[in-house]
Structure 1
Amino acid sequence: MTIFICKCDNVMQQLTIKNFGPINSLTLDIKDFTLLIGPQASGKSTIAKTIFFFKSLNDDLVKYFIDSIDKKDFSKPTGTYAKAIRQKFLDYFGATTHLNGLELKFRYTENVWISITLEGNHKYVTPNFSKPFEESFKNLVFEGTEFLKRFGRKNPALLTSKDLLNLDTEKRKFIAILTEKCNELFDENRELIFIPAGRSLLATLADQLQFIDSRRLDFLMRTFVDRINIVRPIFNKSLVDIIKERRLLTQLAIDFEKTKLAEEIITRILKGRYQYDKDGEKIFYDNKNYVKLNFSSSGQQESLWILLLLFIMILEQQNVFIVIEEPEAHLFPEAQREIAHLIALVSNLNQSQVVITTHSPYILASFNNLILANKFGESHPDSVSKKIDKKLWVSQDKVYAALVKKGDVKPIIDKELNIVEQEYIDTVSRQINDEFDFLYSLETV
């Protein structure tokens, strides 16, 4: 039997939201670089979380196949996968009994989509799948059942150690093949990372982080804490030493120029260097003197794990989809510019995608300059690269920027200049200046 996996043209992914949280109605094409600006409680985080939720469903499908192979049971595949989606939705967004008219839809390719609606009087979260998705899913399940027929019925107690190793190898190979086919179905093979707001709390509790009851944290913060606990031991030496070790002692590929640039940006933002040892997390101001992370500045605490996770992505040359909430939090405008540069460096890795939610006009202005650098760098490469490193330039074609306000989303890219419209950067400054001019004019009255 020929197994069919839906292959579609390279169509931009698209999110549709109706009646969800603050958002009334939205259709959003997912570009490689998405900037969402707006006041608090406007819906920026709702949009970012919803994109991340749908992107992560690929991972849940892979987990379904792994669990089904382990349990040797592929019965009720659609219902089992739908149940996993329903539980994830509740983990991300909480109860749904207060919602009315909710409709969410994510188009992965031209023909493959998943939607979420509320069905019944109890408003149960109900996933719906496009026909091509259902057909591909059905065929993948068939492959899984065929694998179990060949290998799953063997009694481990009757197998030799060599047979068990061979069986484990076959299982790993098959799961790798299924994972690749799931990636193809969802048109998604990036590592997914969500960096939530409120990060400084984790720094304050740095020494107790591994002992925090994760059930007391929301789902995305919980996964963020788990990621930190996994990668923290990597930083038992300085970033400079990590780069040197990778370059001299391993055969792993490294883009030295990008990694060195990232290290320099991070050092300027932190005003020191981070290191983790048996005594906990520290920021060193010189070779000897340091402050423990939980006593460091709020800007250092809030930005630290954005910076370090971005550093790992650049060091490992990872292909990522990353959401960063409020990267500007507690940072001086100069440091906000630096963190925008670091994010841009990551966005230029392979096929990486970035979503940023922000309140900051400095973040928008910084990205505007990087877009302009790419635009004018085509005709004046030497002059522009002396001012702004070419590795930071951002192509205008990959950027989407929108103002999220009162439940509505308004694109704010100037159609002629292909940059963020200046009025959305200068609005508050203009209001403050108008107030100042008015008050100052009273002196002459």
Structure 2
Amino acid sequence: MEEKIHITDFLVIKNAELEIKQINVLIGPQANGKSVIAKLLYFFQGISTEFLKGIRSQLSKRELDKAIIDKFESYFPKYAWDGTGFSIVYTINDIQIEIHGQAKNKTKTKLSLKYSEELKKLYTAKKRIFLEKINDNQLEEEPLRGRGASEASIYRQHILVPLRTSKYSDFFSDPIFIPASRSFFANLQKNIFTFLSSNVDIDPFLTDFGSFYERAKALFKEDIFIRNSNDKQLIKNLYKAAEKVINGEYEYKDKQDWIISTKGKRTNLANASSGQQESLPMLIVLCVLPILKNPNLPKAQALTFIEEPEAHLFPSAQSLIVSIITELSSTFDLKFFITSHSPYILSALNNCILGSEVLGKNEKSTERFQQINNGSGAPLDFEKVSAYTIMDGKTINIIDSEYKMIGAEMLDEVSDHFQDVMNNLLNME
């Protein structure tokens, strides 16, 4: 599969070109555009949802285009880019989607949307098929189910499943965005009615994640799903790793989130540590991904985006997060896009890459790798990793193909800085 994005002069990004692989890392200082790139990718991957809605609602192409532009403006408010010119081109296999901004004056930008002719034809054809199937169903003398149920069944059988098992499956998939500021949900649980009545605009990325998070909580540690899974032991291993990160067990009781310590003490998430508040929503979603993976739609694998997985966590806990990600990627062929400030994330990923190299040469088992790596994680194929940083608004590839490492120079620079300071101080004695 080929997937890439090219961004020119959008917000803080001057020129960014990224190739998307199975594990993708974007690392660097704060406020340099990492989140912008991740959110743009999420937006483009989510355009398929608008196509599916348009098919079901029989929207014209003009109406579909407006829905896509409206979604873009909800993710990236006009005030941030009005009066500027920019270009964003997203490609996935044979499909290309472009959004261009043409500056009319210093305060006005006109947006234009373009996408592949093949996608236009596919949209028209699927609209026609759906309408024909709906009309055929209405002509039946005794429908087996109500109209709503029949329509849902027709949509799934003749539209959704065929698209997600076709050559377009990579495009018609559902991305997940795990944003930063996840502690928002810890405080929301007790104040949701006050919050909802306040008419405050909510970040759409938090809204998207919140909806998914609520569903994930209902599935977390649900026995029936674990029993029916072919990967029971792996799911249990994920739970154990998550419990190590939050230093306790998670419990959802009385419509509240609780963490139970190893000594049995119950702490409401709203009163938990900042590390627990930031990591728990992310961990719950990651742990239920194997349950949500649909065996009937094997090709429909979208990216799971994670902003700052290291937030408020000790380095050993950051390593556990990487272990969870690599196990999910290795076992279920899941894809991830990570934005981070932490060199420890790079170091943990490099260990997994080295594990793949050593295991291949010495035929050691994955179990041996996990014994060395705190009982978790999986070797990671170097060729399935992409890694970038951003400098002066431009992306820089930090893959070292010679030594098969990511961010080697960045890690050396961080280490050298602290070493230089220490040496200078020692020389002053």
TM-score class normalised by the smaller sequence:
0.7 to 0.9
Asked if residue 290 in structure 1 is aligned to residue 280 in structure 2, the reply is no
Structure of larger gyration radius: 1
Alignment correspondent of 2:96: 113
Q: Distance in 1 between matches of 2:388 and 2:237?
A: 29
Relative to 1, partners in 2 of residues 1:186 and 1:360: Cα closer, same or farther, differing over 3 Å? same
**Residue equivalent to 1:50:** 40
Residue number in structure 2 paired with 1:405: 391
**Aligned equivalent of 1:104:** 88
For 1:207, the equivalent position in structure 2 comes to: 190
Correspondence for 2:159: 178
Match of 2:242 in 1: 266
> Within 5 Å, which residues of 2 pair with 1:270-419?
270-278=246-254, 280-286=256-262, 288-317=264-293, 319-380=301-362, 381-382=364-365, 384-388=369-373, 392-419=378-405
Report SS of the residue matched to 1:165: coil
Residue 402 of structure 1 aligns to a residue whose secondary structure is: strand
Deviation at 1:190, TM superposition (A): 3.8
Question: Shift in Å at residue 422 of structure 1?
Answer: 1.9
Change in 2 beyond 3 A, CA 1:353/1:40: same
Residue 28 of structure 1 aligns with an amino acid whose one-letter code is L
CA apart distance, 1:21: 1.3
Query: Residues 148 and 292 (structure 1 numbering): CA distance in 2 closer, same or farther, change over 3 Å?
Result: closer
Q: Offset at 1:292?
A: 1.1
Q: Which moved more, 1:319-328 or 1:213-222?
A: 213-222
Give the drift of 1:105.
1.1
Q: Does 1:15 find its partner at 2:5?
A: yes
Aligned length: 410
Alpha carbons 1:254, 1:316 under 8 Å: kept: no
Q: Distance in 2 between matches of 1:261 and 1:151?
A: 47
- For 1:196, the aligned partner's letter is P
Q: Secondary structure at the match of 2:216?
A: helix
SS, match of residue 235 in structure 2 = helix
Offset at residue 401 of structure 1 (A): 0.5
Contact 2:186 2:277 (C-alpha < 8 Å) held by counterparts: yes
Structure 1 residues without counterparts, runs of 5 or longer: 1-10, 69-73
**Mean CA deviation greater in 92-101 or 303-312:** 92-101
Please give the alpha-carbon distance, in whole angstroms, between the structure 1 residues aligned to 2:263 and 2:357.
Answer: 42
Shift of 1:427: 1.8
1:185-196 equivalences under 5 Å are 185=168, 187-196=170-179
Structure 2 residue matching 1:379: 3-state secondary structure: helix
Q: 2: distance between equivalents of 1:123 and 1:151?
A: 46
Residues 6 and 16, structure 2, Cα contact 8 Å, conserved in 1: yes
Match of 1:86 in 2: 69
**2-structure distance, mates of 1:232, 1:247:** 14
Instruction: State the Cα distance separating 1:367 from its structure 2 match.
Output: 0.5
C-alpha separation in 2, matches of 1:233 and 1:148: 33
Report the Cα offset of residue 320 of structure 1. 4.7
Deviation at 1:432, TM superposition (A): 1.6
Which whole-Å CA distance do the structure 2 matches of 1:316 and 1:175 have between them?
Answer: 20
Decide whether aligned partners of structure 1 residues 396 and 32 sit closer, same or farther in structure 2, where only a CA change above 3 A counts: same
Q: 1:375 deviation in Å?
A: 1.3
1:344 Cα deviation after fit: 1.4
Q: TM-score, normalised by structure 2?
A: 0.88
Seen in structure 2, the aligned counterparts of structure 1 residues 320 and 103 have a Cα distance that, compared at 3 Å, is closer
In the alignment, the residues of structure 2 paired with residue 316 and residue 125 of structure 1 have an alpha-carbon distance, to the nearest angstrom, of: 36
Q: Secondary structure at the match of 1:24?
A: strand
Q: CA deviation at 1:322?
A: 0.5
What is residue 4 of structure 1 aligned with on the other side? none
> What is the distance in 2 between the residues matched to 1:210 and 1:399?
43
Letter in 2 for 1:423: E
Partner Cα distance (1:349, 1:81) in 2: 37
Of all paired residues, the percent bearing the same amino acid is 26
Aligned: 1:66 with 2:47 = no
Secondary structure in structure 2 of the residue aligned to 1:378? helix
Supply the distance in 2 between the matched residues of 1:316 and 1:55 (Cα, whole angstroms). 18
Q: Distance in 2 between matches of 1:274 and 1:385?
A: 24
Q: 1:139 to 1:273 in 2, by over 3 A?
A: same
Conserved? CA contact 2:8–2:15, under 8 Å: yes
The alpha-carbon deviation at position 406 of structure 1 amounts to 1.9
Q: Distance in 2 between matches of 1:376 and 1:215?
A: 53
C-alpha separation between the residues in 2 aligned to 1:274 and 1:390? 19
Q: Name the residue aligned to 2:181.
A: 198
